[in-house]
Chain A
Amino acid sequence: KAGVTQTPRYLIKTRGQQVTLSCSPISGHRSVSWYQQTPGQGLQFLFEYFSETQRNKGNFPGRFSGRQFSNSRSEMNVSTLELGDSALYLCASSPQTGRAEAFFGQGTRLTVV
């Protein structure tokens, strides 16, 4: 069974640009969650999608958005990038929301210069 695939693995962007990150969950998993990880801050929850609907949202500005497609693949978008957006962005897939094991991808390392 293939794991969670995130692309690209690394990105370098300039302040003010926008970026789109992609996540392909494990086959059959309908829940995809996104997290931002920075040193010392742990895993900051961005949002969760289940069956193409956003179920939960973390405390991030509107520049961070996401969507989920009918095949459960998900994308997150960050517009008007700021230096502070530099982080590891992790995607996790689960067969259902909450209570279920979350399987993480390797993440996308975003650097904003």
Chain B
Amino acid sequence: GENVEQHPSTLSVQEGDSAVIKCTYSDSASNYFPWYKQELGKGPQLIIDIRSNVGEKKDQRIAVTLNKTAKHFSLHITETQPEDSAVYFCAASTDDKIIFGKGTRLHILP
């Protein structure tokens, strides 16, 4: 069946460094790619998204890139801060359904 693979499952970076999380998807009909951040005890929150007609989108320290040919998309966080520590989920959506990756636990080291 259709799936979304997300890597790495755990990522530790020094505060101030950059973090990159990568996802690949299998359904070529996917046209919407959101990223969610889940903090402890809370539900996932949408932090940034990209649609298939765009290759890159940036919002302050967060950026997402999309390569539709390779079916890859990535989340980039620059100048990481302690509050960036959380679990991040990527997802790929068609008109009918959305499939999530298994998540990346990001640790920001002091």
Contact = CB atoms under 8 A, between A and B. Distances in A.
B95 A98 contact: yes
Interface stretch (B11-19, B75-83, B98-106): B98-106
A41 B93 contact: no
Interface size grouping (class) on chain A: 20 to 34
A103 B46 contact: yes
Contacts of B98: 33, 98, 102
Interface residues of B, number: 23
Interface string B86-110: 0001000111111111110000000
Which of A45, A99, A105 has most chain B Cβ within 10 Å? A99
Contacts of B31: 99
A55 to B, nearest CB: 7
A13 B95 CA distance: 37
Nearest to B102: A42
B46 A98 contact: no
